[in-house]
């Protein structure tokens, strides 16, 4: 039976997603040796790209070597390709592995942005791009520059100043700092989002000044018409009421009668019309037993007026509230228009293409869904027949629109032999909506767009990450929490949007069950490897009056977290490196770190000698910033001092002196700081390295990479192992900066301020330190212990935040879309559908964040959340509390209303043997030009080009013998070297004869003829980062032989020390019983070393 061409695989946390992707790729790969050229695998981060490439090549290598550890992949491939035997599979794996390594650029595993850039590069001319355009990845830098440029225009544009004032006043009304600069940066950020695109299209299609003039006129007219009409009708109704002799005391409710609201409506409180609506056509609401006497007369006269008022209010309120929302943001729209103009100028002035432009440009290339994309492959030089998408829940609408025509075309060519395409994702882990991610594409759209009959749905059911109790707890939470949340939002839509909206739109769209559907397959099974036990602690902390529950418990949550962490580490229950504390934001991360530091200081100085305290380190993203390391600060301050004006240079010199002397545990005479501005660099030899002081002015003229190497050497910072990762990262950054040519110290420092100082080291997970990390950054990672101290984020997102709404079918359709403030009142406006969709997305974001956080843990999950004083769902922790209150009996463990606990420490299996790895002992200094003049390989090349015949012949013979494992290989190697230009064809017989005479020497042949594993001219990198290349290393069962050839007139002491270095390196690598020999070709002597 033919296979369906597309598999959509739902992969919950810890279910083996990477394994499935690798297996699917390999299954496709073995359909042909060059099939890798026809497969495009798409991921979302560079890290994921490298991990997938490494995993595939690792398995492929294992298959080529017959490794038993990849047996499960071998079985999968053999099942998919039954014509293979294990032997033929191994042969093809070997051939394919070599092909990929020699054709690596066609091994297409890319990020989405990387693939888009390849396409755009191929269509530079068609898109009208400058051939020398530069891709700008740093949107933060662009946003800052746009905000600065906007500020610079305030003097020239009075209207702009007025809009800025409006912005500042709004910040004050919202109890925020009046400084609007950060808001301008956020506003600039909207220009890079997909949801801004329709508004930009409107700006391009109309004259912006005319557009905004018409918009303002329409807004003001609708608002004025509504307010004047309601006020006038309320005034007339009040006049009728006043003219009667009826008093409020005679009416039902007396002073609380709805008629008391008329004055408030006249004063502008239009929402009070809803109260008046209770009286319309309801005589029993006027008096208990119905209106009598004067009240009856009033009813007959006033009821029609109230009915007209209420009818007008209910019919026109949606348009009014919509117009009020737009009116409140008119200044925002004008600022955005100004920003858009500045962004256009920025692109042209800097000849850049922003990464956010790429998807929009690609839309113009891929065309409609039914277009044939073959012309794209012709331009690119690649034709992809198979597509694999990872983390598909984070795909944006634009990205899907661009890939869909390519995917549909490839699906149309499928032959049914294999499942040609794979989409892998998990709606529950969609937490990047702020990056344009749209989980609905994975949930329903992809299948609908491709066609149900072409899609095979599959689910990964087993959890290979967590211990049994942790799996049970997460299954429990995400069985009940989605149901509570779905019921909660359904009730909100019914209450605020009304019955018609709920049934005719909400239910029709399937939103009334979408959260339950997204989490319908969240329950995971235990894998055969699942460890028994596992611990879960959830504590609900008492709160105040429910107004700010998250803030009420902040300090208590921090204190409880610190105490628990100290108990674990002091008792030896967990090592610091096993624990990760997850938070929502960088601000929360700083709170956690500062509290843990204070807690450690307090415990260290505590007079209570009975308290056990074991200090531990805390590692965060900020700690991994390259710019924050003292050694990098030392280097950067030195560079700044070198180019600063004399009056400004003292502060940089002072910082460099302080950091250098602190590094080497030296003190500085206080009087130096006063005189520093007067002293020349040459006079600072007692406080800075003498070599730096002597060469200060000379080094200023060096190329930047060489200058940095000289500074590292002079300061001696490369001798400290802890500094090496930061120094290597800094050197890489300097290298990347100078890739397009030398641009000098000043330009580098500007780049450093704008971009470089934001770079971080990747966390290796090898540090024995407590990690503090945002939930977003933890995605894809796993930890033995996860602490979630602030399980208190709002379900309903951030009040007053900006979101975009479609203006189709409104009086403002010419705008396409507009940004409005997220407020509850929008639920009763003409933007109600957009508001309730945003509400749904906020709820899903909140629940998904909880899912990602709780599924990072292997063995122990710790959570603190605010307690609730009522049944309302406001914070994410309320979902946990309600689930436990109603269904805790379904779990192992105990729940007393305030705390749930199941403690069953996991018995860890012994750690697997560490993979072979190496590390630097010292920083590998590279003095480049200076070092190149002493490199033995360069000297050999110089000898080859020199006129000295003996030296030249010695170099050739040395290379020939080093490359040849046996005498039988000499002829082939000689011919290859001749074609490479080492010697002329006429010299070949003589060279071959000399080489054979050497290889036939009895002592040497006795060594070379043994059945060794041979390594000819293979590089060995030492712990200090230096490279060594022995001519031959012969590895036997119980011993190793080193042979080095020399073609000099006489032995030299340096020859022996060189071979001794080789022996030492092999000993460090774990080899034993090492024999070492020097063979002097001209002397025909074999020397034992």
Q: What is the pLDDT of residues 609-632, one digit of tens each?
A: 567 788 898 888 776 788 888 999
User: Residue 330 and residue 342: Cα distance in Å, rounded?
Assistant: 19
pLDDT over threshold 50, residue 914: no
**Can you name the residues that pair with 770 across neighbouring β-strands?**
618
Gyration radius of the chain's alpha carbons: 37
Using alpha carbons only, give the angle 320, 324, 327 rounded to the nearest 5 degrees. Answer: 135
SS3 content of the chain, % helix, strand, coil (to 5): 60, 10, 30
pLDDT over threshold 80, residue 125: no
Q: Give the three-class secondary structure for 1041.
A: strand
User: Residue 210 and residue 208: Cα distance in Å, rounded?
Assistant: 6
User: Residue 197 and residue 932: Cα distance in Å, rounded?
Assistant: 53
Q: Can you give the pLDDT at residue 1025? A: 65
For range 541-551, the mean pLDDT: 83
Q: Give the three-class secondary structure for 337.
A: helix
Nearest Cα residue to 109 out of 387, 300, 430: 387
pLDDT over threshold 70, residue 378: no
User: Residue 512 and residue 772: Cα distance in Å, rounded?
Assistant: 37
Q: The tokens of 356 are what?
A: 């956010």
β-pair type (783-788, 802-806)? unpaired
User: Residue 617 and residue 352: Cα distance in Å, rounded?
Assistant: 43
Q: Give the three-class secondary structure for 833.
A: helix
Is residue 888 annotated as involved in ligand binding? no
Q: Can you give the pLDDT at residue 430? A: 95
β-pair type (352-354, 134-136)? parallel
* Residues contacting 697, CB < 8 A, separation 6+: 681
For range 339-352, the mean pLDDT: 89
* Residues contacting 966, CB < 8 A, separation 6+: 999, 1008, 1009
Q: Can you give the pLDDT at residue 1009? A: 78
Nearest Cα residue to 935 out of 1054, 1037, 1026, 810: 1026
Using alpha carbons only, give the angle 484, 488, 492 rounded to the nearest 5 degrees. Answer: 170
Is residue 93 annotated as involved in ligand binding? no
Q: Can you give the pLDDT at residue 99? A: 92
Report yes or no: 1044 and 1062 within 8 Å, Cβ to Cβ: yes
Q: How is residue 810 annotated by DSSP?
A: S
End-to-end alpha-carbon separation of the chain, Å? 69
DSSP notation for 445-505 = IHHHHH-GGGEEEEEE-EESSS-HHHHHHHHHHHHHHHHHHHHHHHHHIIIII-HHHIIII
User: Residue 510 and residue 869: Cα distance in Å, rounded?
Assistant: 32
Count of C-beta atoms within a 10 Å radius of residue 544: 12
For range 214-222, the mean pLDDT: 93
Average per-residue pLDDT for the chain: 87
pLDDT over threshold 60, residue 939: no
Q: Can you give the pLDDT at residue 949? A: 63
pLDDT over threshold 90, residue 782: yes
* Residues contacting 448, CB < 8 A, separation 6+: none
**Can you name the residues that pair with 537 across neighbouring β-strands?**
862, 901
Q: Can you give the pLDDT at residue 943? A: 43
pLDDT over threshold 90, residue 807: yes
For range 27-37, the mean pLDDT: 93
User: Residue 1083 and residue 1056: Cα distance in Å, rounded?
Assistant: 16
With residue 425 as reference, give the H or E element that holds it. Answer: strand 421-425
pLDDT over threshold 70, residue 377: no
pTM: 0.84
pLDDT band for position 947 (50/70/90)? very low
User: Exposure string (b/e) for 382-392, b if CB count within 10 Å is 16 or more?
Assistant: bebbbbbbbbb
Q: Is pLDDT larger for residue 181 or for residue 440?
A: 440
β-pair type (1085-1088, 1074-1080)? antiparallel
Half-sphere exposure of 960 (CA within 13 A, CB side): 35
Which has the minimum average pLDDT: 680-689, 723-732, 919-928, 1057-1066?
919-928
Q: Can you give the pLDDT at residue 479? A: 97
User: Residue 897 and residue 540: Cα distance in Å, rounded?
Assistant: 8
User: Residue 860 and residue 725: Cα distance in Å, rounded?
Assistant: 31
Q: The tokens of 568 are what?
A: 């674990």
pLDDT over threshold 60, residue 911: no
Report yes or no: 772 and 620 within 8 Å, Cβ to Cβ: yes
Site of tokens 């420490």? 905
Report yes or no: 504 and 868 within 8 Å, Cβ to Cβ: no
Q: Can you give the pLDDT at residue 938? A: 41
pLDDT over threshold 80, residue 764: no
Report yes or no: 977 and 968 within 8 Å, Cβ to Cβ: no
Nearest Cα residue to 75 out of 19, 115, 122: 19
Half-sphere exposure of 782 (CA within 13 A, CB side): 15
Residue 543 CA: distances (Å) to CA of 387, 553, 584, 677, 898? 51, 6, 20, 57, 12
Is residue 15 annotated as involved in ligand binding? yes
Residue 964 CA: distances (Å) to CA of 969, 985, 1016? 6, 19, 7
User: Residue 654 and residue 641: Cα distance in Å, rounded?
Assistant: 9
User: Residue 833 and residue 830: Cα distance in Å, rounded?
Assistant: 8
Is residue 14 annotated as involved in ligand binding? yes
Q: Give the three-class secondary structure for 444.
A: helix
Q: The tokens of 599 are what?
A: 């807690």
Instruction: State which of 36-40, 366-370, 946-950 shows the largest mean pLDDT.
Output: 36-40
User: Residue 776 and residue 28: Cα distance in Å, rounded?
Assistant: 32
Report yes or no: 773 and 788 within 8 Å, Cβ to Cβ: no
> What sign for the dihedral angle of Cα 907, 776, 54, 14?
positive
Is residue 738 annotated as involved in ligand binding? no
Q: What percent of the chain has pLDDT over 90?
A: 51
> What sign for the dihedral angle of Cα 731, 736, 740, 743?
negative
Q: Give the three-class secondary structure for 343.
A: helix
Q: In sequence order, what E strands does 879-1004 have?
A: 894-895, 899-902
Is residue 481 annotated as involved in ligand binding? no
Angle (deg, nearest 10), helices 181-190 and 158-173 = 100
Q: The tokens of 262 are what?
A: 């008329």
With residue 41 as reference, give the H or E element that holds it. Answer: strand 39-43
pLDDT over threshold 70, residue 514: yes
User: Residue 710 and residue 927: Cα distance in Å, rounded?
Assistant: 7
For range 710-714, the mean pLDDT: 92
> What is the torsion angle, in degrees rounded to the nearest 10, for the CA atoms of residue 458, residue 460, residue 461 and residue 463?
-170
Report yes or no: 709 and 686 within 8 Å, Cβ to Cβ: no
> What is the torsion angle, in degrees rounded to the nearest 10, for the CA atoms of residue 108, residue 110, residue 113 and residue 114?
-60
pLDDT over threshold 60, residue 934: no
**Can you name the residues that pair with 1027 across neighbouring β-strands?**
1021
pLDDT over threshold 90, residue 115: no
Report yes or no: 284 and 338 within 8 Å, Cβ to Cβ: no
User: Residue 759 and residue 990: Cα distance in Å, rounded?
Assistant: 57
Q: Give the three-class secondary structure for 895.
A: strand
Residue 848 CA: distances (Å) to CA of 394, 399, 424, 692? 12, 22, 17, 54
DSSP notation for 668-710 = --THHHHHGGG--GGGGTTTS-HHHHHTHHHHTTS-HHHHHHH
Question: Max Cα separation, the chain?
Answer: 137
pLDDT over threshold 90, residue 20: yes
Q: What is the pLDDT of residues 722-738, one digit of tens each?
A: 888 889 899 989 988 88
């Amino acid at each position: 039976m033919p296979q369906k061409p597309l598999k959509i695989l739902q992969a919950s946390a810890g279910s083996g997603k990477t394994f499935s992707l690798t297996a699917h790729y390999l299954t496709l790969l073995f359909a042909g040796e060059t099939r890798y050229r026809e497969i495009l695998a798409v991921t979302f981060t560079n890290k994921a790209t490298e991990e997938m490439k490494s995993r595939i090549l690792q398995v492929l290598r294992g298959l080529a070597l017959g490794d038993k550890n990849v047996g499960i992949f071998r079985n999968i491939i053999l099942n998919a390709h039954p014509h293979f035997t294990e032997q033929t599979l191994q042969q093809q794996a070997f051939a394919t592995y070599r092909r990929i390594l020699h054709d690596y650029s066609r091994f297409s595993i890319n990020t989405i942005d990387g693939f888009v850039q390849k396409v755009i590069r191929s269509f530079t001319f068609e898109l009208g791009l400058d051939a020398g355009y530069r891709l700008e990845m740093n949107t933060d830098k662009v946003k800052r520059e746009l905000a600065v440029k906007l500020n610079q225009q305030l003097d020239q544009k009075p209207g702009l100043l007025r809009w800025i004032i409006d912005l500042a006043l709004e910040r004050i009304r919202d109890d925020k700092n009046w400084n609007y600069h950060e808001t301008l940066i956020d506003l600039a950020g909207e220009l890079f989002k997909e949801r801004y695109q329709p508004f930009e299209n409107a700006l391009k299609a109309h004259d912006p000044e005319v557009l905004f003039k018409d918009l303002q006129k329409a807004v003001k007219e609708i608002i004025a018409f509504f307010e004047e009409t309601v006020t006038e009708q309320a005034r007339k109704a009040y006049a009728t009421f006043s003219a009667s002799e009826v008093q409020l005391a005679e009416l039902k409710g007396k002073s609380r009668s709805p008629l008391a609201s008329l004055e408030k409506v006249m004063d502008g409180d239009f929402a009070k019309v809803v109260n008046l609506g209770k009286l319309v056509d309801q005589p029993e609401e006027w008096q208990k037993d119905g209106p009598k006497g004067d009240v009856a007369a009033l009813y007959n006269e006033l009821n029609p007026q109230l009915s007209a008022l209420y009818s007008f209010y209910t019919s026109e309120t949606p348009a009014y509230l919509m117009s009020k929302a737009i009116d409140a943001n008119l200044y925002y729209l004008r600022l955005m228009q100004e920003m858009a103009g500045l962004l256009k100028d920025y692109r042209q002035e800097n000849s850049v293409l922003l990464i956010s432009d790429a998807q929009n440009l690609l839309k113009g290339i891929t065309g409609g869904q039914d277009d044939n994309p073959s012309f794209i492959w012709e331009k690119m030089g690649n034709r992809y027949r198979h597509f694999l998408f990872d983390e598909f829940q984070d795909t944006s609408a634009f990205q899907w629109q661009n890939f869909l025509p390519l995917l549909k075309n490839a699906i149309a060519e499928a032959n049914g032999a294999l499942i040609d395409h794979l989409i892998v994702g998990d709606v529950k882990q969609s937490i990047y909506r702020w990056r344009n991610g749209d989980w609905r594409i994975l949930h329903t759209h992809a299948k609908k767009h491709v066609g149900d009959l072409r899609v095979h749905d599959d689910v990964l059911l087993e959890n290979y990450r967590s211990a049994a109790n942790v799996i049970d707890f997460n299954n429990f939470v995400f069985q009940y929490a989605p149901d509570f949340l779905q019921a909660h939002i359904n009730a909100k839509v019914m209450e605020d949007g009304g019955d018609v909206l709920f049934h005719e739109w909400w239910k029709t769209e399937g939103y009334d069950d979408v959260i339950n559907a997204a989490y319908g397959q969240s329950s995971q099974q235990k894998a055969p490897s699942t460890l028994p036990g596992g611990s879960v602690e959830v504590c609900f902390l008492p709160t105040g009056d429910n107004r700010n529950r998250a803030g009420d418990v902040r300090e208590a949550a921090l204190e409880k977290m610190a105490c628990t962490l100290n108990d674990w580490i002091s008792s030896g229950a967990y090592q610091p490196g096993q624990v990760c504390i997850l938070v929502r934001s960088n601000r929360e991360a700083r709170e956690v770190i500062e509290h843990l530091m204070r807690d450690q200081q307090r415990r260290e100085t505590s007079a209570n000698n009975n308290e056990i305290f074991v200090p531990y380190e805390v590692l965060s993203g900020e700690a991994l910033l390259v710019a924050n390391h003292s050694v990098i600060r030392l280097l950067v301050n030195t560079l700044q001092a070198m180019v600063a004006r004399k009056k400004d240079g003292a502060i940089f010199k002072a910082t460099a002196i302080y950091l250098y002397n602190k590094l080497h545990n030296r003190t500085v005479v206080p009087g130096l700081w006063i005189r520093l501005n007067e002293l020349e660099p040459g006079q600072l030899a007692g406080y800075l390295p003498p070599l730096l002081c002597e060469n200060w002015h000379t080094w200023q003229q060096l190329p930047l990479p060489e200058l940095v190497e000289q500074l590292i050497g002079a300061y001696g910072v490369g001798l400290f192992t802890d500094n090496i990762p930061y120094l290597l990262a800094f050197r890489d950054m300097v290298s990347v900066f100078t890739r397009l040519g030398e641009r000098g110290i000043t330009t580098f420092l500007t780049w450093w301020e704008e971009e470089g100082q934001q770079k971080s080291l990747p966390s290796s997970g090898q540090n024995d330190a407590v990690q503090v990390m945002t939930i977003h950054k933890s995605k894809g990672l796993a930890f033995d212990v996860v602490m979630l101290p602030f399980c208190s984020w709002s379900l309903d997102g951030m009040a007053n935040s900006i979101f975009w709404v479609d203006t189709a079918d409104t009086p403002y359709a010419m705008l396409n879309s507009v940004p409005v403030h997220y407020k509850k009142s929008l639920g009763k406006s003409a933007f109600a559908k957009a508001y309730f969709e945003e509400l749904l997305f906020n709820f899903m974001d909140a629940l998904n964040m909880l899912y990602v956080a709780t599924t990072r843990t292997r063995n122990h999950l710790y959570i603190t959340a605010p307690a609730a004083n009522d049944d309302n769902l406001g914070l994410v922790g309320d979902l946990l509390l309600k689930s436990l209150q109603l269904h805790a009996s379904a779990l192992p463990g105990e729940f007393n209303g305030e705390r749930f606990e199941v403690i069953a420490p996991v018995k860890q299996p012994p750690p697997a043997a560490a993979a072979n790895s190496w590390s630097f002992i010292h920083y590998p200094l590279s003095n480049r030009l200076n070092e190149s003049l002493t490199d033995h390989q360069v000297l050999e090349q110089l000898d080859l080009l020199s006129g000295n015949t003996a030296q030249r012949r010695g170099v050739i013979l040395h290379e020939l013998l080093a490359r040849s494992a046996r005498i039988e290989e000499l002829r082939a190697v000689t011919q290859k070297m001749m074609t490479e230009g080492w010697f002329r064809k006429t010299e070949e017989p003589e060279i071959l004869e000399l080489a054979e005479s050497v290889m036939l020497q009895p002592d040497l042949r006795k060594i070379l003829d043994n059945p060794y594993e041979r390594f000819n001219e293979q590089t060995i990198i030492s712990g200090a980062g230096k490279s060594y290349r022995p001519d031959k290393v012969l590895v036997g069962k119980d011993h190793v032989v080193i042979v080095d050839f020399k073609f000099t007139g006489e032995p030299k002491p340096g020859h022996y020390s060189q071979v001794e270095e080789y022996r030492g390196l092999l000993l460090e690598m774990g080899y034993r019983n090492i024999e070492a020999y020097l063979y002097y070709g001209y002397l025909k002597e074999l020397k034992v070393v």
